[in-house]
Amino acid sequence: MPWGNLLCASSILLSGGCASQVLRMFKFMKMPIFSMDTFINIQRCYTVPSCLKVWHEHQSSLLERVGENPLVLGGDGRCDTPGHCAKYGTYTLMDLRDRRILDIQLVQSNEVKNSHHMELEGLKRGLSFLEEKGCSIKEVITDRHVSVKKYMREQHKDKEHYFDVWHVTKGVGKKLEAAAKKPGCAAVRPWIKSTTNHMYWVAASCKDDPDLKVDKWLSVINHVANKHEGHSSKFKQCEHGPLTEERLWLKEGSKPYKAFMEVVSSGYLVRDLPNLSPVYQTFALEVFHSVVNHFAPKNTHYFYAAMMARMFLAALHFNENGNREQATDQVGNSRWKMMYPKSKKGEEAVVKPVKQQVTFNYAEDLQRAVIERRKALPNYTSARKDADKQFHRTPLPLTKSFKPVVKKDLVTQQKSRFLMPK
């Protein structure tokens, strides 16, 4: 195998590229290049095992640095395809103090009852792995997944389980938007942003007082009706100063007011308010998922080993670049960029800090590992045998559970609805 083939094929994977598109580009340029079969062989025998090796070394160094310090973990799941028919589910656990990925678990849908159970299974595996490594886990912050809530409540009573505020406010905002679209309820819409901001304030200002969180949150029902006193025994009046601006107050008992109150005082929501995370949130995990979308796009299928390698690549990239400082200009002023968030629908612009340039030191380590593996295992046969040992626990393909069919029989039975008679 030429060294050029090895380095080119490994670079496609390490950069998060799509092999079929890169090979097509070379074809359009009339430049000779290896076939897709060669790429797959190099990926399976050399690149993927090297990715796993470098990740496990990196992960071991992270866990060694953590030691016995109590961890504050953020956890979130991601499916490989939109909708309800995902093949893979990945669950990521991040050290929220250090903003680094500590573990990623890849779950295939045939390993659990159905694709809805992949998130819980990933969390179980991740927590078990960290505890086996001797990590002390103090807090876990997740979304409000029903199965996750029950599992943490029953199996991990020694850990504080909090809910990420962004996930909660996102759900409340959607329900208020739906309520505002009902006939005669348009007056709810001007209060959506204020209400979601109110929840962030509730989570940050109440610490771990569950009753105060509930009382402060429900006070917004009086606030929107221009009542700012007599909320409850723990929270008697609003803490804002005199309101001089004219606002579109909701009339108590009106249709918009009832629609607003129905969403805000929902029993399902109020039960979860005491568990709002007062300090740490999982927004960094959402940033990591955007990195994953580069290395493993949801519109592209990957086999299990390649999917695992791409997830580890995304984690290596994020851990190296997730804590970059804000860039400055030649004078030393901080750099900012203006954006129009999709959620604002063009009505409001925001500024975000421009970060320093991205680095790819991890890619050099990966290329070095690929070269070392090629020297140690100079042919496909020996490299494939070694790779198969690493992937002996790979779950069976989904098609193994399907009824076997003969392709020739399907071709014979194939009939077109638009077949014209001869």
CA angle in degrees (0–180, nearest 5) for 156-157-160: 90
| Separation in Å, CA 352 to CA 326, 341, 345, 355, 404 | 10, 11, 17, 9, 54
Beta bridge partners of 88: 108
List the structure tokens of 88: 């893979």
Q: How many residues does the chain have?
A: 422
Q: What does the pLDDT look like over 132-153, one tens digit per residue?
A: 999 999 999 999 999 999 999 9
Residue 344 domain flag: no
Bridging pattern class, strands 336-339 and 137-142: unpaired
Report whether 158 contacts 138 (CB < 8 A): no
Cα atoms in the Cβ-side hemisphere of radius 13 Å centred on 289: 18
Report whether 143 contacts 161 (CB < 8 A): no
Q: How many domains does the chain have?
A: 1
Beta bridge partners of 328: 334
pLDDT recorded at residue 187 = 94
Cα atoms in the Cβ-side hemisphere of radius 13 Å centred on 197: 5
Q: What does the pLDDT look like over 294-310, one tens digit per residue?
A: 999 988 889 999 999 99
Sign of CA dihedral 22, 300, 93, 108: negative
Provide the strand spans (E) within 118-267: 137-142, 160-163
Residue 213 domain flag: yes
Q: How far apart are CA 418 and CA 227, in angstroms?
A: 68
Report whether 66 contacts 135 (CB < 8 A): yes
Phi, psi of 222 (to 5 degrees): -75, -35
CA angle in degrees (0–180, nearest 5) for 197-199-201: 75
Q: What does the pLDDT look like over 373-388, one tens digit per residue?
A: 999 999 999 999 999 9
Q: Which residue has the higher pLDDT, 400 or 34?
A: 34
Bridging pattern class, strands 100-108 and 336-339: unpaired
**Residue 222: pLDDT over 80:** yes
pLDDT recorded at residue 138 = 94
Confidence of residue 207 (pLDDT cuts 50, 70, 90): confident
Q: CB under 8 Å to 298, separation ≥6 — which residues?
A: 79, 80, 81, 82
Residue 349 domain flag: no
- The greatest distance separating any two alpha carbons of the chain, rounded to the nearest whole angstrom, comes to 85
pLDDT recorded at residue 420 = 63
Instruction: Name residue, tokens 């990196």.
Output: 58
Q: What does the pLDDT look like over 403-420, one tens digit per residue?
A: 888 888 888 888 766 666
Average pLDDT of the segment spanning 280-305:
92
**Residue 84: pLDDT over 80:** no
The percent of residues in the chain predicted with pLDDT above 70, rounded, is 98
Report whether 94 contacts 74 (CB < 8 A): yes
Average pLDDT of the segment spanning 34-54:
94
> What's this model's pTM, rounded to 2 decimal places?
0.90
How high does pLDDT run on average in the chain? 91
pLDDT recorded at residue 18 = 92
Report whether 172 contacts 199 (CB < 8 A): yes
**Residue 178: pLDDT over 80:** yes
Residue 253 domain flag: yes
pLDDT recorded at residue 418 = 66
Residue 179 domain flag: yes
Residue 216 domain flag: yes
Q: What share of the chain is helix, strand, coil (3-state, %, to 5)?
A: 55, 10, 35
Average pLDDT of the segment spanning 242-260:
89
Can you state the angle between helices 210-223 and 192-205, rounded to 10 degrees?
160
Residue 87 domain flag: no
Average pLDDT of the segment spanning 361-376:
95
Average pLDDT of the segment spanning 154-166:
93
**Residue 393: pLDDT over 90:** no
Average pLDDT of the segment spanning 5-13:
94
Confidence of residue 391 (pLDDT cuts 50, 70, 90): confident
**Residue 245: pLDDT over 90:** no
Range of the domain at 242: 165-276
Report whether 355 contacts 327 (CB < 8 A): yes
Residue 189 domain flag: yes
Range scoring the smallest mean pLDDT among 27-31, 42-46, 125-129, 228-232: 228-232
Q: Which one, of 200, 198, 242, lies nearest residue 218 by Cα?
A: 198
Q: CB under 8 Å to 133, separation ≥6 — which residues?
A: 63
Report whether 146 contacts 171 (CB < 8 A): no
Q: How far apart are CA 97 and CA 258, in angstroms?
A: 41
Phi, psi of 297 (to 5 degrees): -60, 150
Q: What does the pLDDT look like over 328-357, one tens digit per residue?
A: 989 989 999 998 887 777 778 889 999 999
Q: Which residue has the higher pLDDT, 23 or 420?
A: 23
4 three-state secondary structure: helix
Report whether 126 contacts 57 (CB < 8 A): no
**Residue 180: pLDDT over 70:** yes
